């Protein structure tokens, strides 16, 4: 099916999720699924197929076990996301630019007058005349209880807008709205009374809970689900310091964020559902597993438990959801849209940074590429990274960028290098990096909560690869013959210029791994002259798979390695605490016993959902 987009001169301000879905349907961007569909695995399976085919948004009209409808793949393509926000994106971009450079407004006041008018939508509206979401009170068990992957711990909310306030500075303008997954059923949770609240490092709600705990008081939390699509996007936006998510939602949606208080809880009155409750100090329960966006399960850990107070629903409410798994998935489109809206926000925040690109194929946080500057010695052209190292420290100390595990950063005086062009960027850096000097480790530090390659929950290491100056080598495009002769190591394959993947037997322990990598060093140390065009070697379980596509290489190499434990080198040395290597750097990206299992679909469920796509099914002609 081909989709056409029609632009209008008036502002499209959706007052509800259903208004958005009706608009999408009118323009060939939504399909209704009328067959009864099981929320246990089937809905997720259908969503994954449609997303992969770049298909339409979905409205499930007959969810087994629930009287409520459900919608997914709303933001499934960047084009559809642009369409939803077609009348407000440019104004939002200008507002963020003005936040970063307020002098622009003073220099061109007439040019920015329209933006100023749009900003009037930013002020949240308290106690609106109507409160659609409070149409009825329901229970958790009334909701579409969607389980996405076979080993998930239960049903989850995957597009929640979790609202909390600062106990010392109450009120909506100092509140936090974030997208933290919510476990509705399973494990030890008492159905309809308790739900799980999972949040990771560098999240605003953590600050709020810390303050409440210090006073021995429960933290009041509201979970909004649905409502205008701008509300969903606002919950995942990395906004500039001081900019409220609710004000962002108002500007992007072309409609003020409407709210009220009930029983001391903030209620988003335009939402489809609201769950209110309290998180008490020290009340944690096991949460998970959950099939997450790195392509593996995040395992079961203790996280805050929320005592449910009340659950509200609007008339004919619609439950929005998404499915995450090995990238790309719908959250990839979220990331692309966020990048378009925020523009130069990060370069303006970190001096010397020209561009930053979190690599979606590697699960976002495991791999970050950055283009920086080298301006410290203009009288003497840079021969080695200097400012780049200062910039890398700034990056690794900034918000969610600090969760990066592998940071590749390069300087380019020509301003031609683009971090988003992964093959060109990696070629540029690998041609210039000095492995004896330009590899810098951060050990015993924090990493992404969802990354199980480290030494424990939130614990692991980071590494910075920095490069600048003139080209030092020509990268190999064919596997050197010596790599076919290594005892025990099999099937060397080129993943990209300068990078070889090679298979080895299954990982057993770090003690054995050290001996195995020492063996590799002994076998190759005398042949480094034959490896001059090879910069990286990735030891893995299946080199054919790892080298098949760029996405496969990025996923396997960088999600399965802990830099401090899994990086070795041919001719490696340590001098005054600095590590380097004379020959290729080696990354042991084999699956380790402590890693979370990768996500796999249920074959029986896949067969059952075929009916939706076969002749006569709702999606027969849609993808």
363 or 108, which is more confident?
363
Classify residue 396: in a domain, yes or no: yes
Which of 266, 293, 321 corresponds to the end of one domain?
321
10-19, 109-118, 354-363, 501-510, range with greatest mean pLDDT: 501-510
Residues 462 and 517 in one domain: no
Is pLDDT above 70 for 116? no
Based on the fold, state whether residues 460 and 486 are members of the same structural domain.
no
For residue 390, give the CATH number of its domain: 3.40.1670.10
- Grouping H, G, I as helix, E, B as strand and the rest as coil, residue 483 is helix
Question: Of 321, 340, 357, which residue sits at a domain end?
Answer: 321
Residue % of the chain over a pLDDT of 70: 91
Confidence class for position 347, pLDDT limits 50, 70, 90: low
Q: Are 230 and 159 in contact (CB under 8 A)?
A: no
Question: Which strands make up the sheet holding 258-262, listed edge to edge?
Answer: 125-126, 258-262, 265-268
Which runs of E-coded beta strand occur in 75-218? 125-126, 136-138, 156-157, 160-164, 176-178, 182-183, 194-197
Q: What is the mean pLDDT of residues 122-142?
A: 96
Residues 336, 420 within the same domain: yes
Per-residue pLDDT, 97: 63
Domain that holds residue 265: 17-87+123-321
Looking at the structure, tell me whether residues 405 and 266 fall in a common domain: no
Comparing 84-88, 234-238, 311-315, which segment has the lowest mean pLDDT?
A: 234-238
Looking at the fold, whether 316 and 357 belong to one and the same domain comes out as no
Is residue 473 one of the residues assigned to a domain? no
**What are the φ/ψ torsions at residue 371 (nearest 5 degrees)?**
-110, 125
Q: Is the pLDDT of residue 332 over 80?
A: yes
The pLDDT of residue 2: 37
Whether 67 is in a domain gets the answer: yes
SS3 label, residue 266: strand
Percentage of residues of the chain with pLDDT beyond 90: 79
Q: Is residue 101 part of a domain?
A: no
How many C-beta neighbours within 10 Å does residue 136 have? 12
CATH of the domain at 499: 3.40.1670
Residues in the chain, overall count: 623
pLDDT number for residue 98:
58
Same structural domain, 145 and 248: yes
Domain CATH code at residue 307: 2.30.110.10
> CA-to-CA distance for 545 and 551, rounded, in angstroms?
10
Residue 111, pLDDT above cutoff 60: no
- Reported as a single tens digit per residue, the pLDDT across 188-246 is 999 999 999 998 655 678 889 989 999 999 999 999 999 999 999 999 887 765 678 99
Confidence (pLDDT) at 96: 65
Q: What is the pLDDT of residues 494-547, one digit of tens each?
A: 999 999 999 999 999 999 999 999 999 999 999 999 999 999 999 999 999 999
pLDDT, position 9? 33
**What is the per-residue pLDDT for 474?**
97
- Are residues 296 and 392 located together in one domain of the fold? no
Number of H helices, E strands in the chain: 19, 30
Do residues 585 and 566 touch, judged by C-beta distance below 8 A? no
Residues 6+ apart with CB under 8 A from 312: 133, 134, 135, 136, 137, 138, 267, 273, 274, 276
Residues 373 and 297 in one domain: no
> How high is the pLDDT of residue 191?
96
Output the pLDDT for position 336.
Answer: 87
Do 310 and 378 share a structural domain?
no
pLDDT in tens, 367-408: 999 999 998 776 676 678 999 999 999 999 988 888 999 999
Residues 135 and 186 in one domain: yes
Q: Above 60 in pLDDT, residue 5?
A: no
Q: Pick from 265, 300, 321: which residue ends a domain? A: 321
Q: What is the pLDDT of residue 105?
A: 40
- For all residues of the chain together, what is the average pLDDT? 91
The count of structural domains within the chain is: 3
Decide if 603 is inside a domain: no
Task: Report if residue 593 sits inside a domain.
Answer: no
User: What average pLDDT does this structure show over 54-68?
Assistant: 98
Residue 118 lies in a domain: no
pLDDT at position 24, please? 97
Residue 46 placed within a domain? yes
Q: Could you tell me the pLDDT band of residue 450, with boundaries at 50, 70 and 90?
A: confident
Q: Are residues 494 and 449 in the same domain?
A: no
Same domain, 340 and 312: no
């Amino acid at each position: 099916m081909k989709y056409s987009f029609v632009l209008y001169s008036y502002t499209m301000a959706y007052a509800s999720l259903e208004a958005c879905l009706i608009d999408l349907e009118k323009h060939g961007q939504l399909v209704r699924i009328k067959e009864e569909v099981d929320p246990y695995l089937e809905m997720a399976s259908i969503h994954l197929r449609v997303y992969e085919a770049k298909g339409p948004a979905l409205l499930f009209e007959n969810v087994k076990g629930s009287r409520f409808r459900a919608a997914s793949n709303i933001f499934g393509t960047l084009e559809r996301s642009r369409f939803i926000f077609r009348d407000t994106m440019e104004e939002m971009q200008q507002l963020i630019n003005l936040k970063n450079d307020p002098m622009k407004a003073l220099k061109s006041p007439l040019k920015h007058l329209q933006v100023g008018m749009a900003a009037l939508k930013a002020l949240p509206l308290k106690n609106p005349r109507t409160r659609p979401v409070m149409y009825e009170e329901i229970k958790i068990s009334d909701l579409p209880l969607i389980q996405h992957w076979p080993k998930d711990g239960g049903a989850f909310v995957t597009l929640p807008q979790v609202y909390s306030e600062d106990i010392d500075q109450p009120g909506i303008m100092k509140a936090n709205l974030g997208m933290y997954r919510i476990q509705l059923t399973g494990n030890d949770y008492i159905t309809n009374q308790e739900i799980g609240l999972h949040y990771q490092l560098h999240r605003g709600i953590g600050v709020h809970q810390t303050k409440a705990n210090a006073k021995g008081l429960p933290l009041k939390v509201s979970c909004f689900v649905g409502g205008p699509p701008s509300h969903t996007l606002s919950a995942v936006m990395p906004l500039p310091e001081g900019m409220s998510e609710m004000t962002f939602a108002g500007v992007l949606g072309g409609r003020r964020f409407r709210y009220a208080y009930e029983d001391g809880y903030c209620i988003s009155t335009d939402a489809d559902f609201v769950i209110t409750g309290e998180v008490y100090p020290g009340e944690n329960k096991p949460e998970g597993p959950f099939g997450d966006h790195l392509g593996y399960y995040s395992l079961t850990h203790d996280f805050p438990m929320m005592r449910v107070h009340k659950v509200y629903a609007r008339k004919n409410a619609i439950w929005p959801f998404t499915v995450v798994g090995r990238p790309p998935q719908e959250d990839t489109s979220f990331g692309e849209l966020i990048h378009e809206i925020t523009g130069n926000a990060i370069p303006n925040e970190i001096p010397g940074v020209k561009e930053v690109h979190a690599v979606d194929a590697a699960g976002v946080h495991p791999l970050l590429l950055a283009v920086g500057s080298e301006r410290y010695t203009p009288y003497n052209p840079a021969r080695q990274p200097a400012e780049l190292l200062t910039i890398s420290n700034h990056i690794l100390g900034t918000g969610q960028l600090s969760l990066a595990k592998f940071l590749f950063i390069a300087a380019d005086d020509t301003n031609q290098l683009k971090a988003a062009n992964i093959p060109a960027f990696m070629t540029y850096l690998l041609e210039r990096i000095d492995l004896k000097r330009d590899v810098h480790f951060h050990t015993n530090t924090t990493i992404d909560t969802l990354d199980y390659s480290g030494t424990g929950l939130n614990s692991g290491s980071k590494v910075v690869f920095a490069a600048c100056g003139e080209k030092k080598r020509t990268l190999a495009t064919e596997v050197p013959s010596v790599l076919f002769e290594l005892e025990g190591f099999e099937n060397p394959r080129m993943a990209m210029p300068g990078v070889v993947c090679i298979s080895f037997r299954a990982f057993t322990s770090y003690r054995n791994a050290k001996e195995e990598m020492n063996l590799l060093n002994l076998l190759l140390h005398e042949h480094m002259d034959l490896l001059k065009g090879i910069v990286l070697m990735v030891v893995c379980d299946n080199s054919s798979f790892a080298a098949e596509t760029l996405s496969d290489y990025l996923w396997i190499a960088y999600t399965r390695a802990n830099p401090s434990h899994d990086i070795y080198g041919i001719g490696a040395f340590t001098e005054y605490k600095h590590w380097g290597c004379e020959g290729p750097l080696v990354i042991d990206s084999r699956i380790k016993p402590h890693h979370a299992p990768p996500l796999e679909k249920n074959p029986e469920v896949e067969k059952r959902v075929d009916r939706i796509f076969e002749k006569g099914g709702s999606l027969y002609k849609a993808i």
